[in-house]
């Protein structure tokens, strides 16, 4: 037989020599063979409507860059930037405003207390003390605080003792430590204190046609307040007052015609009788 040229495949349905055998003929290896597929014809696995493999998006989460806020400049109007070199000051919230109000109130109260201490304390001024020691205050320097218009410094020293007294007109002012239990709020009133601010007195005067009725009213007030003392012989009528929970002073209220005069003092300490005696003596000096 004539051999085909070298390099060319043999013609015909026969396989080349050396490869003949049982596997050289018949269906392909693997058991699939020819004919219908092993699973037969019909819908694909997974049920109707299931797309065949190889089509559609791959299983699993979608691939791509992570989602996030859009990049770029913010939209809408923006607050103006602070000038170069200037720090942005934080705004005060409700808590900051409340703290500012409390601080302001404390400052006002402190200034008011300091002013009251300067008025009646030992540092009220040498000019005020000199005016009280010099009588009615007419010789005091111009612009100096006036002394008490109801009693002179000499009379204070004569009755209460030489204690470096400072006496000032206070008008209708009411001070608990200066025994305002009787004749409270009358326009003629003085506060008196010694140089150590330990012995305190108050002198008050009331003038009016109802002085007798006012005297009886003040006496009932002292009785209901449990600081009514004994009756004493002074003026037209008079009675003493004793220390109580609201005041440590003892005193005397005296009516002379249409005038009422009250003196309360702590110069005698806790001795109510001695305090009343000093008060009656000072009432006689009140003009």
Tens digit of each residue's pLDDT (9 = 90 or more) over 136-167? 333 333 333 448 999 999 999 999 988 789 99
Strands 188-193 and 228-231: unpaired
Residues 6+ away with beta carbon under 8 Å from 92: 100
> Average model confidence (pLDDT) for the chain?
74
The three-state secondary structure class of 264 is strand
Which run of H or E residues covers position 262?
strand 259-265
d(C-alpha 135, C-alpha 1), whole Å: 170
pLDDT (tens digit, 9 = 90+) per residue, 164-209?
899 999 988 887 789 999 999 999 999 999 989 899 999 999 999 9
Residues 6+ apart with CB under 8 A from 219: 228, 239, 253
pLDDT exceeds cutoff 80 at 109: no
Q: How far is CA 134 from CA 125, 172, 211, in A?
A: 15, 25, 32
Q: Are 210 and 219 contacting, i.e. CB atoms less than 8 angstroms apart?
A: no
pLDDT in tens, 258-277: 999 999 999 999 899 999 99
pTM for this predicted structure: 0.52
């Amino acid at each position: 037989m004539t051999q085909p040229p070298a390099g060319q495949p043999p013609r015909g349905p026969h396989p080349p020599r050396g490869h003949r055998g049982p596997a050289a003929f018949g269906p392909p290896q693997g058991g699939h063979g020819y004919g219908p597929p092993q699973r037969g014809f019909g819908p694909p696995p997974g049920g109707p409507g299931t797309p065949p493999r190889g089509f559609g998006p791959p299983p699993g989460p979608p691939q791509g860059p992570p989602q996030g806020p859009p990049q770029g400049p913010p939209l809408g109007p923006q607050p103006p930037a602070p000038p170069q070199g200037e720090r942005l000051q934080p705004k005060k919230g409700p808590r900051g405003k409340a703290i500012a109000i409390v601080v302001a109130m404390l400052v006002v109260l402190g200034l008011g207390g300091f002013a009251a201490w300067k008025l009646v304390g030992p540092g009220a001024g040498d000019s005020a003390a000199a005016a009280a020691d010099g009588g009615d205050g007419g010789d005091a320097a111009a612009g100096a605080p006036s002394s008490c218009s109801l009693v002179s410094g000499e009379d204070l020293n004569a009755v209460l003792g030489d204690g470096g007294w400072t006496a000032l007109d206070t008008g209708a002012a009411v001070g608990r430590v200066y025994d305002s239990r009787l004749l409270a709020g009358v326009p003629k009133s003085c506060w008196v204190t010694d140089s150590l601010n330990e012995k305190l007195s108050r002198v008050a005067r009331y003038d009016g046609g109802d002085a007798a009725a006012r005297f009886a009213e003040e006496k009932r007030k002292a009785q209901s307040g449990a600081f009514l003392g004994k009756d004493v012989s002074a003026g037209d009528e008079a009675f003493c007052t004793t220390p109580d929970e609201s005041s440590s002073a003892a005193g005397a209220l005296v009516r002379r015609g249409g005038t009422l005069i009250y003196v309360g003092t702590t110069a005698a300490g806790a001795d109510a009788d001695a305090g009343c005696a000093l008060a009656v003596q000072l009432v006689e000096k009140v003009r």
